[in-house]
Amino acid sequence: MPSNDSPADGTTRRRALGALGTALAGGLAGCAGRVPGAGPVEMDAETTAEPGELQWQYPPREGDRDGVGYASIDTDRRERAGSRPPVLGLRFNATVGDIAASEPYRGYETDWFRFSVRPPRSYEGRLNYEMRVQPPGQWEEFGAYYDIEAGTRTFTTELRSVDTEGTIIVPAVFDPGVEALPESLYCTFTVQASRSGPLGKTVRASDDGTLELDAE
């Protein structure tokens, strides 16, 4: 299982990690939004990629106008002592509303979000790498787990019952063990957001992309 870099601060978070690691994978697909009786409206996302960073904005930008929000993953290489290969720091960023939104998209709050990453299937350490993840602040319904498909380990982190706008950062570390870091990571994200009131609506956005890693 992925390890947790944050200090052990009680059994509640440990229970959440243990229980949600197995239960949330299927549970989030049916998670209801804030608008009773209204299913989520699927929203397209615009992908922007450059070495070390991947970003999705939803809906795609129209000129200078921002949409509901964006999701991103950025990275930094961290050298280690001796002959051990470097590790890779990652920041999973889920931002909804607040300064990231323009009319007519203001007023949304995050319901839940999910990020997944995996190395290429040709990567020698595709089954042996480790992810260390730090749960964000005050939320207890946090999950982090691995799946194995086609001989490659995929890491997923997700947060339920967010019910707030703004930016949430989930820091993590990709540790390749004795292997060199991969040249890229295949990444996916899904986020659901809701707006209450007369203009109430629930939207969901998801997309994927390849995160190219700096060789330096």
The per-residue pLDDT for range 102-154, each reduced to its tens digit, is: 888 889 999 999 999 999 999 999 999 999 999 988 888 999 999 999 999 99
Residues 116 and 188: beta-carbon distance below 8 Å: yes
pTM: 0.81
Q: Name the percent of the chain in helix, strand, coil, to the closest 5.
A: 10, 50, 40
Pick the range with the lowest mean pLDDT from 4-8, 103-107, 187-191, 193-197: 4-8
Distance (Å, rounded) from C-alpha 179 to C-alpha 80? 13
Distance (Å, rounded) from C-alpha 203 to C-alpha 142? 21
pLDDT of 199 above 80: no
What integer is the mean pLDDT of 203-210?
A: 97
Which pLDDT score, from 0 to 100, does residue 136 have?
A: 87
Which pLDDT score, from 0 to 100, does residue 39 have?
A: 77
What does the DSSP 8-state code read for residue 65?
B
Tell me the pLDDT band of 26, cut-offs 50, 70 and 90.
very low
- Which residues are registered as beta bridge partners of 13? none
Distance (Å, rounded) from C-alpha 111 to C-alpha 28? 10
Nearest to 21 by CA among 157, 169, 149: 157
Tell me the pLDDT band of 28, cut-offs 50, 70 and 90.
very low
The one-letter amino acid at 24: L
Q: Which fold has domain 3-29+40-211?
A: Immunoglobulin-like (2.60.40)
What integer is the mean pLDDT of 194-199?
A: 86
What integer is the mean pLDDT of 27-52?
A: 70
Q: Is 25 helix (H, G, I), strand (E, B) or coil?
A: helix
Residues 56 and 46: beta-carbon distance below 8 Å: yes
Which pLDDT score, from 0 to 100, does residue 99 have?
A: 76
Q: Is 22 helix (H, G, I), strand (E, B) or coil?
A: helix
Residues 171 and 133: beta-carbon distance below 8 Å: yes
CA distances from 192 to 5, 46, 58, 117 (A): 27, 16, 11, 19
pLDDT of 83 above 70: yes
Find where tokens 């200090």 sit.
Answer: 7
What integer is the mean pLDDT of 11-24?
A: 35
